[in-house]
Structures are given as structure tokens and as C-alpha cells.
Amino acid sequence: MSDKLKQIINKQSEQQNDISDQLDDVVQLVGFVIGDEEYAVPILAIQEIIKPFTWTRVPQVPTYILGVFNLRGAVIPLIDLRAKFGLQTKKQSDETRFIVMRDGDDVAGFVIDRLTMAIRIKKVNIGPAPDTVNGDDTIIDGVGKQEDKIITILKVNKLLERNF
Amino acid sequence: MDEFQEILQDFLVESFELVEKLDEDLVELENNPEDLELLNGIFRVAHTVKGASSFLNFDVLTHLTHHMEDVLNKARHGELVISPDVMDVILESIDLMKALLETIRDTSADAGIDVAECVLKLDKITNRSEEVKSSVVEAAPVVPIAQTKIIEEEITEEEAIHSEGEPDYDNMSPDDLEAEIEKLLQERQAEDRAKREAKIAAGESVLEAPPEPEEEVDSSLEPEPEPVVQAVAPTPAPVKQEEAKTEDAKAGAPAKRTPAAVEQTIRVDVKRLDHLMNLIGELVLAKNRLIKINDDVEERYEGEEFLEELNQVVSIVSLVTTDLQIAVMKTRMLPIGKVFNKFPRMIRDLSRELNKKIELEIAGEDTELDKSIVEEIGDPLVHIIRNSCDHGVEMPADRVSKGKEETGIIGLKAYNEGNQIVIQIDDDGQGLDTDMLKNKSLEKGIITEKEADNMSEKEAFGLIFKPGFSTAAAVTNVSGRGVGMDVVKTNIEKLNGIIDIDSELGVGTSMKLKIPLTLAIIQALLVGVQEEYYAIPLASVLETVRISKDEIYTVEGRSVMRLRDDVLSLVHIGDIFEVERILDSSEHAYVVVLGLGTSKLGLIVDTLVGQEEIVIKSLGDYLKGIEGVAGATIRGDGGVTLIVDVVALMQMAKDVKATPLNESSSATSISVEKTKASDYTVMIVDDSKTDRTIMRKALEPIGITLIEATDGQEALGILKAGEHNFDAMLVDIEMPRMDGYTLATEIKKYNKYKKLPLIAVTSRTGKSDRMRGVESGMVEYITKPYSADYLSSVVQRNVNFKAEFL
């Protein structure tokens, strides 16, 4: 048991060394799925990830804003990313999660279909957003290339920006 | 550097506090130029600021305050009479001092403001008074009034020096303190010498000295019985006294001498108080939750012994929480005098500018209000008082011809009334002319002719709060631009307050601002509509009435009802907040009568939940500005409930079209054409696995889709999720969490499921059970045990199963 523990600790410290070696050119992201696409946001923008629970509808807002919910005493807006991205709404499943993102003082919860994993990706492997969606208005920060797939990286500040 | 910053901060806070009181004192002084108490207080401010600023190397400020001090010093020695002209210069210098302090606050330096001109003026006064002084001294023995003044001053002098020093000492280094004492002693000796001569001359009039407050007793006792002795050797005694007192003051100061200065206070950062208030808010929420849990437990374990104990604890917790909340609220309270202070000066300036004679009477300045409200209330009050000066109080000549006193009086008073504070502004001016108000509004297109005709007096008064309204014939510097009063209204309403106007033509106008004591925690009425809840601030709720649907009439597309002798216009909360009507509304509805100033509105809701103390939370930047929603609160069950913004709601109600309450057609059940047996879906609700299996075995052969639920709650959840379109439900009666009857009742509340066949499958065979089943909406009643064929045939019949699928 203790040997195993040592191994793990060693492994971790090795990893940590790796990280510090290349801290500058590695971005840590959290990946999630909405519809058929995989998206990611910087891990530091995420305050927490929670299982779904009840929320309260708020009138006179676009349909993608489901309402507000109680996060340990704070009232936080809840946004359905499926609806925001123009997809059909889907019933929540066991894999549905709320991702609470924060940018400065702005906080909001986002409903996503499923989490994938924490991703380390080298900066050199992140390309700019495709030309067609370029401009200041896009919520796409860039496109991360991995061995077998590409991931759309989203701008958290744009997600948290009120545009209605 | 840090230390310097700290001292600077202290200096600024202290100076601003002192200056704040100054304006009021100065105006008071102009009316009572002989009030030495006041003069000393003012001198003290200049002196304190001078001392501290020189220590901090603010040369410009020191320069200015030094000259101010000179003038004031002359004045308090009776060598200078405070005439309006002198006062103008002093006020100007105080304004400069304020500007300098603000510059220091912003830039940590006092550069950029030219004080030379003002200093020159101050010097002029000082020099001019030199001449006056000599004449006063010479005239002293001859003019009795002057004598008394000097003696009176001599007595207060001593006190002045004490109190002058006291606030300073805490902030002084020992060296400075030493120097200060030294300086004071010298000053005093010099003054005493000067006074002695005068006093000897005026010895006989000592007894005429007006009785001073108690604190004067020991100092005035000495001179009274033996004025001559005192005059011979007065110096040592008072000095000793003074030294003793200084030390006393340092050591906590005995109450007998200067009770005001002993106030035990501590300066706390507002942020900390806000944090504390937030925590209390959390506690109030937790308390609400605890009460709710307690109620649930009481219901479930009725008669258990531990309930008593639990009850006690819960009530203690809720009691202490309430007390705690009040205590913290009190720490945030400030006397409204802080706001009132600036008005005497304003009135003075205004009356000079407008050539009117106006006097301000202030009462109730000790009334306390939450800090955040005190900060917000200032501007509206400025507007109202300006308005009273400009439009209310007439020119002196007009007043005289109307048989009124030449001087107009504006009363400003604050008092508590229940959970609210009332600020009342009265003037004895010309009053509001409703016809004139209506004509003006018609002219400006604010109202239509028809509206004008139907207007009550109160509503006509309310016109002055309309944007773009101004009654002043000419636009003056003071008012008449047509902005202001509407800003006043919005600002007051922002504080959840209301404005009430009363006026009588030719006699005067009275405005009452009613404002809640605090903003953070309020009493609210919780109402339900369909499956949603809303909180309505109780302060705006006048009453609630239960009505039946046929009491609602429609007039010109609006719902109205008769409430006693009035006609009340109604609006359904569901129309305001776009609530989907999924539940069937019952025969009865509740009307919450909302009142805001003079306007009333009936809000139709489905249920009244009750009164609760709620903590107002903001919806945050992302959702701010939603019309009709003032914020949100967290309920006992952890859910979020929106708080209704009554002001906005009244506005919105005007544009909302009434939808008929009895409408229930929208929810027609979606009947999809069945093409195969598995298109039929039936839910089996039973807590026993065996029973569910038996039912499944009986129904599987016909090929319909079966969904299982283990109790009422789960079944309701599945139904609400809407993933399946159920054609029938098989419901057991005895189930944990939610039994079959309750489930049936709940389901039947939804329009959508009105026609869904519910089949009871139970071992209960009593007649009353069957009756209950029917009452709750069950269509069939199958008793266990049953044969598989029987069950299958009952189900087939109820879902209209097409024979060809068999």
C-alpha cells in the first residue's frame, strides 16, 4: 500500500515538474459536449461543476435563460447552452451538469449535456477561430487540435455577457 | 508612508465630519450672533483642521484655516460682529476649505486651489475689527450689554478651551500635546489679563451672567460669590483646573463635566457591516428553513415527546435571529440629521437669491435610518425643498398682502411610523392649484382632456411628478426646468418609499415621504400562481380578498371588480409574468390589493401562501433590469423566489391585456395516431416489486409500452417530465411518500391530464375507499387479487385499444 502511495506521489511530482517545465505554453481546459460538438473553456474560469437541481423561471428573458438558481445563498442565472447555440432542447439526463463559470464579478451557471475531461493542450496546437466566424462578436476563442479531433474553445467573458 | 496614509485617512474622516456640522452651525450663528457656544464650536473646527493640516504639511489649507481662525477668534472675543457680509466671507472660506479637503482626499495634496482672494477678504475683516475692538473695549464699562457678553464669554471660554482640546488629544503625539497645552495656557493667560480689567470694571454685573448648563457649575461658582477676589488672582486656579480636566478627559473623562464627549464609539469600516448584514441574511434564510422543517417534523411525528424540545429550540433560534437582525440593522443606522444639516445653509442661500424671506424649522433630526437610505435621500430632499422655496413660498410683499407673516416657514421633520420613517416637508406658501396643474399638463400634452376631467384632487397633485412638468412661469436658476420632481419620485420609489402630497390653495403644501427603515430584509406576502411563487413587499399590500370568478367584470378590455364602494382594476399576475397556464384554475381566486401612494391595483393570484421575512438579493448584472422584478430571495426550502417590483408592476398593468380567466382550451391533449401496439403507453405505479411484475406479466402479451414508478412522487415526476404520452395509469393506493389518492388529485390539477384514465389497483375494498377513489378522479377500481385477463381487458377498454393490433 505504502509503496503504491509512494509511486503515485512520485508520479505526481514528476507530472508537476513536467507542468512547471512547460507551464508557459500549455493551456488547461475542461471539455464538455453540447449536441454533437465538443467544446472547452479554461479551467480557471470554472468555479464549480454541479449536478442539476431545480431553478426558478424568470420572465421576460430569451428562452435560453432558464432562470435563476440558488448556489449556497447566491442567486445565479442559469443558461441553457443547447438553446443558446440554437439546438433543440433535450430532457436532462444523468450526465447533464451545471458548469458555474466566473469572469470577474460575473457568474452564471451553464447547462451542458455531458462533461468529457480536463484537457492539457499546447498553445501551439491552438489555432484561431475560423475566418467565417471571426470578428469581435464571436464567442469562439480558438480551435484546439488534438490527435483525433478538434475542440472549440469558448470565450468565457462572451458567454457571461448579457446580449438581450 | 503607510503611517502617513493612516494619519491622513483619520484626518480626512474627522475633518469631513466636522465640516458637515459646520454649515448648520454657521447659519444658526447668523441668526444668533451672540451664541458663543456656537461660535466656539466653529472656531474649534477651523482650529482643529489648521492644527492637523500643518502637521501634515498641507500649506495651502493651513494658510486658509489660519486666517479663518483669526476672524473667528475675533468674533468669539466679541471684537467682531457677525454681519451677513462677514458671514458671506466665512461661508466662502468654508467652501474653499471643503474643496481643499476634497482635493486632498483625491490627490493627497492640496495644490490647485487659489485661496489668496479669500484670505485677503478674511484679512480685511480681521483688520477692520481691530478698530471695532478698541471701541468695544473702551465702551465696555458704559454699555451693559457688552459687559455681560464679555463675562459670559469669559465663562464659556474655559469650557471652550477644554472641549476644543479634547477631540484633538487622541490623535496627537506627546510632543504636540505638550505644545498644545503650553499654547492654551499662554492664550488663556493673555486673555485673562485682558479680561480682568474689563471685569473689574463690570464687576457688579457678574451676577447677571445667564445660568449656564450644569457643566459650568464649578467654574461659574467661583466668580459668583466673590467676583473681586477672583479678579485679583484668577490665573492659577483656572489653569490648574484645566490641567486636571485635560488629564481627566484623557483617562476616560468623568461624565459630570462633558457628557457629550465621552461617547464610547468605535469607527468601523462599512464593508464589515455590510458583510455582517449579509451573514445575518443567510441566518434569516436558515431560520426560515428550520421553521419549515420543524413544521414538517411536527406533522410526521405528532405527539412525540422530543417535539416539545425541538419546538423550544426552534423558537429560541428564531427569536435570537430576529433580535440579532435588529441589532445589526441598528448599527447601520444613522441619524437623518446628517442629511438635514445641509439645508439651513441651502435655505439661506436660496432666500438671498430669490429675495424671499424663508425660515427653516427642523424637527426629529435624531430619527435614525439605514445608512444606504440616508445616502440616497439627500438629493430628493434638495429638490423638494428647492421647489418649496421657489414655487411654494411667495414673495414677501405678496405674503403681506395676503395677510400672512412676511417670513415664510418651511418645516422639515422626520418621525417613525410603524415600520416606516416619515419625512415631512411643509411650507406655508401658496399651495397647489389643481386647475392650474391640469391646464399646464394639458398644455404640455402630459395628460388628455378626458383624464383631466376624471382626476381626483390627489391625482392632480401627483401631476407635479410627471416628467416634463414645470409650473414655474420663468425658468430660474433654482428650478423650473421641469426635471427634478420626477427624479424625486423615481429616487423615492427606488427606496421602496412612497410620496403623499396634501395641499390647500393659499395655505400651504405638505409632502410626506414614507420610507422603509432598511432595504435588506423586508416582510413579504408570498403568493402562488400555477406552480410558481412570488413575493410581494408587504408594505405595498393594503389587503387581500377572496373572490369568485363571476365577481370579475370586463370594462373596455380591462378586468375590474367592485371592492366595497370602489371599482378596482385587476390584473392577473400570470399575465404580467408570462406564466404558462398548465394547471386548471379553480372557481375562486385571491386578489391582493396593492397600494402605492394614491393609486391602487388588484393583483389576481391563485393562492396565498403566507407572510414571510425575506432577504432581498440582487439578480446580478446579467439579469438586471427585468421589468416587474425587484430582486430574488431564497426560501426555506432552498428554492429561489422572485420579488415583485410593485412600482413597475403598476406601470406594466396598464399595458397588459386581460386574458379570460376561465380559458382552458389551450391544453388539448395531443393525440397521436396509434399505428402499432407499442404506441400505447401505460404507467404502473406500485411500491411493491411483486405487484408491478404481476401487472407487467398481465399486460405484456398485448404489446403495449409499460413504464414503472415506485410511488406517487416518482410517478408525478415522470408525468411532468413529459417524455412519454401516457394513455392510462395503474395506481396502487397504499404507497410511501405520496399515496394513490393524492397522486390522482395532483394529476387532475393539470389541464393536460384531465382526461387521462386512472385505474386504481388495490387491496382496499371498503366502500369509503371506492368513494375516495372516485372523488380523486379514478375511473376504475380493481381489487386485488384479480385475473390477468380482467386487468388486460380493463386497460384495453380505457386506452381504446384497437383490436387489429391483437
Gap from B647 CA to chain A (nearest CA, Å): 17
E-strand ranges in B419-565 read 420-427, 498-504, 508-516, 521-529, 532-537, 541-548, 553-555, 558-563
Q: Which residues of A touch B282 (CB under 8 A)?
A: 73
Nearest 5°: the CA angle B792, B795, B797 is 110
Non-local (6+) Cβ contacts of B101 within 8 A are B12, B15, B16, B19, B49, B61
To the nearest 5 percent, what fractions of chain B are helix, strand and coil? 55, 20, 30
Residue B197 banded pLDDT, cuts 50, 70, 90: low
Q: What is the pLDDT of residue A99?
A: 92
Q: Check CB contact under 8 Å for B532 and A61.
A: no
Asked whether the predicted pLDDT for residue B256 surpasses 70, the reply is no
Helix (H, G, I), strand (E, B) or coil at B188: helix
Is B47 a residue of the active site? yes
Gap from B616 CA to chain A (nearest CA, Å): 10
Mean pLDDT calculated for residue range A6-26: 70
Gap from B707 CA to chain A (nearest CA, Å): 17
Q: Check CB contact under 8 Å for A61 and B640.
A: no
The answer to whether B496 touches B473, Cβ cutoff 8 Å, is no
Report the C-alpha gap between B431 and B504 in whole angstroms.
Answer: 5
DSSP state of B655: T
Q: Check CB contact under 8 Å for B617 and A55.
A: no
Q: Which residue has the cell 385477463?
A: B789
Task: Kindly state the percentage of chain B with pLDDT values over 70.
Answer: 77
- How many CB pairs lie under 8 A apart between chains A and B? 67
Mean pLDDT calculated for residue range A118-144: 76
Query: Per-residue pLDDT tens for B429-480?
Result: 888 888 888 888 888 777 778 777 777 787 788 888 777 676 554 445 444 4
Closest residue in A to B617 (Cα–Cα): A75
Q: What is the pLDDT of residue B150?
A: 46
Element (H, E) at B695: helix B689-699
Report the C-alpha gap between B277 and B283 in whole angstroms.
Answer: 10
Query: Per residue in B583-601, is it b (16+ CB within 10 Å) or e — as a string?
Result: bbbeeebbbbbbbbbeeeb
Q: Which of B167-171, B478-482, B756-760 has the highest mean pLDDT?
A: B756-760
Asked whether the predicted pLDDT for residue B104 surpasses 60, the reply is yes
Report the C-alpha gap between B704 and B684 in whole angstroms.
Answer: 12
Residue B156 banded pLDDT, cuts 50, 70, 90: very low
- The catalytic residue among B30, B40, B47, B288 is B47
Gap from B656 CA to chain A (nearest CA, Å): 14
Tell me if chain A has a CB within 8 Å of the CB of B723: yes
Higher pLDDT, B474 or B704: B704
Tell the burial category of B484 from Cβ atoms under 10 Å away from its Cβ (0-12, 13-18, 19+). Answer: buried
Report the C-alpha gap between A20 and B799 in whole angstroms.
Answer: 67
Non-local (6+) Cβ contacts of B457 within 8 A are B434
Report the C-alpha gap between B191 and B760 in whole angstroms.
Answer: 105
Tell the burial category of B558 from Cβ atoms under 10 Å away from its Cβ (0-12, 13-18, 19+). Answer: middle
Mean pLDDT calculated for residue range B601-622: 85
Computed over every residue of chain B, the mean pLDDT equals 75
Query: Per-residue pLDDT tens for B125-139?
Result: 777 655 544 444 444
Residue B642 banded pLDDT, cuts 50, 70, 90: very high
Asked whether the predicted pLDDT for residue B226 surpasses 70, the reply is no
Asked whether the predicted pLDDT for residue B206 surpasses 70, the reply is no
Q: What is the pLDDT of residue B219?
A: 43
Query: Per-residue pLDDT tens for B227-244?
Result: 444 444 444 444 444 444
Cell, residue B632: 430574488
- The catalytic residue among B24, B69, B164, B493 is B69
Q: What is the pLDDT of residue B620?
A: 78
Helix (H, G, I), strand (E, B) or coil at B266: coil
Q: What is the pLDDT of residue A68?
A: 92
Asked whether the predicted pLDDT for residue B222 surpasses 70, the reply is no
Report the C-alpha gap between A58 and B577 in whole angstroms.
Answer: 8
The answer to whether A67 touches B622, Cβ cutoff 8 Å, is no
Element (H, E) at B576: helix B573-576
Q: Check CB contact under 8 Å for B626 and A75.
A: no
Asked whether the predicted pLDDT for residue B402 surpasses 80, the reply is yes
Q: Check CB contact under 8 Å for B532 and A57.
A: yes
Q: What is the pLDDT of residue B535?
A: 92
Task: Kindly state the percentage of chain B with pLDDT values over 90.
Answer: 2
Q: Check CB contact under 8 Å for B618 and A91.
A: no
Closest residue in B to A60 (Cα–Cα): B626
Report the C-alpha gap between A41 and A103 in whole angstroms.
Answer: 12
Tell me if chain A has a CB within 8 Å of the CB of B753: no
Q: What is the pLDDT of residue B57?
A: 76
Cell, residue B566: 370602489
- Could you say which of B578, B618, B640 has the minimum Cβ distance to residue A70? B640
Q: What is the pLDDT of residue B220?
A: 42
Asked whether the predicted pLDDT for residue B526 surpasses 90, the reply is yes
The answer to whether A79 touches A109, Cβ cutoff 8 Å, is yes
Amino acid identity for residue B180 in this structure: E
- The catalytic residue among B387, B491, B496, B751 is B387
Q: What is the pLDDT of residue B235?
A: 43
- Could you say which of A60, A73, A75 has the minimum Cβ distance to residue B626? A60
Report the C-alpha gap between B20 and B293 in whole angstroms.
Answer: 50
Helix (H, G, I), strand (E, B) or coil at B76: helix
DSSP state of B392: I
The answer to whether B386 touches B350, Cβ cutoff 8 Å, is yes
Number of neighbouring beta carbons within 10 Å of residue B446? 17
Helix (H, G, I), strand (E, B) or coil at B498: strand
Report the C-alpha gap between B778 and B17 in whole angstroms.
Answer: 75
Asked whether the predicted pLDDT for residue B188 surpasses 60, the reply is yes
Q: What is the pLDDT of residue B246?
A: 43
Nearest 5°: the CA angle B86, B89, B90 is 85
Is B439 a residue of the active site? no
Residues of A with CB under 8 A from a CB of B: 54-61, 65, 67-70, 73-77, 91, 105-108, 160, 162
Mean pLDDT calculated for residue range B158-162: 45
Q: What is the pLDDT of residue B198?
A: 61
Output the 3-class SS for B206-254.
HHHCCCCCHHHHHHHHCCCCCHHHHHHCCCHHHHHHHHHHHHHHHCCCC
Q: Which residues of A touch B572 (CB under 8 A)?
A: none
Q: Which residue has the cell 420609489?
A: B493
Amino acid identity for residue A81 in this structure: L
Mean pLDDT calculated for residue range B85-90: 78
Asked whether the predicted pLDDT for residue B211 surpasses 70, the reply is no
- Could you say which of B622, B628, B642 has the minimum Cβ distance to residue A162? B622
Q: Check CB contact under 8 Å for B626 and A107.
A: no
Tell me if chain A has a CB within 8 Å of the CB of B673: no
Q: Check CB contact under 8 Å for A61 and B623.
A: yes
Mean pLDDT calculated for residue range B779-795: 82
Non-local (6+) Cβ contacts of B609 within 8 A are B526, B527, B528, B533
Nearest one of B596, B625, B363 to B489, comparing CA atoms: B596
Higher pLDDT, B584 or B311: B311
Mean pLDDT calculated for residue range B712-725: 80
Q: Check CB contact under 8 Å for A58 and B623.
A: yes
Q: What is the pLDDT of residue B393?
A: 84
Q: Check CB contact under 8 Å for B623 and A55.
A: no
Mean pLDDT calculated for residue range B633-644: 85
Q: Which residues of B touch A107 (CB under 8 A)?
A: 620
Gap from B526 CA to chain A (nearest CA, Å): 15
Tell me if chain A has a CB within 8 Å of the CB of B655: no
Higher pLDDT, B703 or B217: B703
Q: What is the pLDDT of residue B471?
A: 53
Q: Which residues of B touch A100 (CB under 8 A)?
A: none
Query: Per-residue pLDDT tens for B45-58?
Result: 777 777 777 777 78
Gap from B618 CA to chain A (nearest CA, Å): 7
Is B387 a residue of the active site? yes
Q: Which of A7-11, B281-285, B438-442, B629-633 has the highest mean pLDDT?
A: B629-633
Start-to-end Cα distance in chain A = 57
Report the C-alpha gap between B181 and B250 in whole angstroms.
Answer: 13
